[in-house]
Amino acid sequence: MKSDTSQKLFEEACRYLVGGVNSPVRAFKSVGGTPLFITRVRGSHVYDADGNEFVDYVGSWGPAILGHASPEVVRAVYEAMKDGLSFGASTVREIELAKLVRQAFPSVELIRFVNSGTEATMSAIRAARGFTGRNKIVKFDGCYHGHADYLLVKAGSGAATLGVPDSAGVPSEFASLTLVARFNDLESVKKLLEQNKDQIAAVIVEPVVGNMGCIPPASGFLEGLSDLTRKEGALLIFDEVMTGFRVALGGAQALYKIQPDLTCLGKIIGGGLPVGAYGGRKEIMEKVAPLGPVYQAGTLSGNPLAMSAGIATLAELKKEKVYARLEEKGSFLEGGLRGIASRCGVPIQVNRVGSMFSFFFSHDPVTSADSARKCDAKRFKKLFHLLLEEGIYIAPSPFEAGFISLAHSEADLDLTLRAFEKGLTHVMS
């Protein structure tokens, strides 16, 4: 694998961009080496500046569920472009996308489009605080909800990768309003709610964690959260920025049959362009401006190109058997990985929900941030580079989920498993 051009570009990038990147995990800090400079993406493949081609499991960190640059989405954006790039005013496409979201997520009675997942969670929490008149929130160790000040507490993903669980620049007064519970541990939530009676505005959770690697909810965990929050008069916010339209058309809330009060979306609903959204029960969302006193706005919110990419993506996802096909691919990959690990005698845990998956170098099941942190990151680092050499691109961190798209072919999955087998043999030697 050649990397001279990426290396040169990275050196140049470092002279102009902070750390050479515009989002920290892209910097390969936890795996070492030079980040790939991607020049083109198509279907299940990404191509870099050195002419290398990879089967991609990063999927632009989630949005690329149809595969990269799906012709339907590209065409829709191209058509939309002819009408102009930004209106800063109401447009029919916003209604269309809102309808598509509502059909898949009945709990989202009213929605507001924003430009990123960070904006979605930040605004949902503001709405929850405005509605309940309470200030504190509960989040879970290892869950990432974007980079709003008070959410950068035990935030998994990039923060865990870089070993900075709490960010500098966040006043302790802000962080003190964020209480941290353990994922898959209802007792830890119950305790916080009891200790902070009538003070908790909301519990926010990734219903399937994707930012400590993929960690599914234990049976009864999400139901328990729903019961506990209802009894305490706190709101339940599902951060489905990653899981929305990923683990099922209706997200984790459809898969596990739980109705949260508020839902945050992003990634897939923008079809590769910058979009986020938050929405939920009408009476809560009616608190948001212009209907209510909770202020939230956006120059580019509801951008016509982003809306059209989202509409085209969701239209594809509504087609028959889409999620069955994703499940089939996921199950094939999971079975293959397990089989190889067992043949190679490597202790590996494979976690998967539909087309979202992770493998962990661990003897024990990974069910929480604590257990994810115990995994062997050195082995991951070694395997990451071996997989790259074999033409497989996974996220450059042991704390990220992998994503399979509809464009991943049998040949892609076979190649992945062969690479994995070769890599694991080396890692263990």
Interaction site with ligand PLP (CB under 6 A):
61, 116-118, 121, 144-146, 206, 210-211, 239, 241-242, 266, 276
**Residue of 144, 278, 323, 393 marked catalytic:** 144
Q: Quick one: 251 or 266, whose CB is closer to ligand PLP?
A: 266
239 is catalytic: yes
Closest distance of CB 256 from ligand PLP, Å: 16
Closest distance of CB 206 from ligand PLP, Å: 5
Q: What CA–CA distance (Å, rounded) separates 369 from 360?
A: 12
Q: What CA–CA distance (Å, rounded) separates 56 from 393?
A: 5
Closest distance of CB 115 from ligand PLP, Å: 8
Closest distance of CB 210 from ligand PLP, Å: 5
- DSSP per residue, 233-287: T-EEEEE-TTTBTTTBTTHHHHHTT---SEEEE-GGGGBTB--EEEEE-HHHHTT
**Residue of 141, 185, 239, 261 marked catalytic:** 239
Q: Which residue is nearest to ligand PLP (CB)?
A: 117
Q: Quick one: 67 or 142, whose CB is closer to ligand PLP?
A: 142
Residue 164 contacts residue 157 (beta carbons within 8 Å): no
Q: Is the peptide bond before 290 cis (omega within 30 degrees of 0)?
A: yes
Closest distance of CB 170 from ligand PLP, Å: 16
Q: Quick one: 61 or 245, whose CB is closer to ligand PLP?
A: 61
Residue 227 contacts residue 234 (beta carbons within 8 Å): no
**Residue of 154, 267, 329, 381 marked catalytic:** 267
Q: What CA–CA distance (Å, rounded) separates 276 from 119?
A: 7
267 is catalytic: yes
Q: Quick one: 144 or 183, whose CB is closer to ligand PLP?
A: 144
Q: Quick one: 159 or 201, whose CB is closer to ligand PLP?
A: 159
342-377 burial, b if ≥16 CB within 10 A, otherwise e? eebebebbbbbbbbbbbbbbbeeebbbbebbbebbb
H helices present in 183-220, as ranges: 186-195
Q: How far is CA 175 from CA 132, 172, 232, in A?
A: 19, 5, 22
User: Which residues belong to the active site?
Assistant: 144, 239, 267
